[in-house]
Amino acid sequence: MPAKITPFLMFHGEAEEAMAFYLSLFPDSKTIELRRYGPEGPGREGTVMRATISLGGSEVMCIDSAVRHPFTFTPATSLFVTCRSDEEITRLAAELGKRGKVFMPLDAYPFATKFTWLTDRFGVSWQLSLT
**pTM score > 0.75 for this model?**
yes
| For residues 105-129, average pLDDT | 97
CA distance 112 to 5: 26
pLDDT tens for 13-54 read 999 999 999 999 999 999 999 999 999 999 999 999 999 999
pLDDT at 88 over 90: yes
**Minimal CA–CA distance to 73: which of 6, 9, 7, 5?**
9
% of the chain residues with pLDDT over 70:
100
Q: Which residues are 11's β-sheet partners?
A: 64
User: Is residue 131 pLDDT above 90, yes or no?
Assistant: no
CA distance 96 to 91: 8
DSSP H helices, the chain, are 15-25, 86-97
From the list 94, 95, 104, 101, the residue with the least C-alpha distance to 127 is: 104
122 — alpha (psi -120 to 50), left (phi > 0) or beta? alpha
CA distance 89 to 81: 9
What pLDDT score does 1 carry? 78
Domains detected in the chain? 8-64 (3.30.720.100), 78-130 (3.30.720.110)
For residue 29, give Cα distances in angstroms to 74, 79, 109. 25, 15, 29
- pLDDT 10s digits, 90-112: 999 999 999 999 999 999 999 99
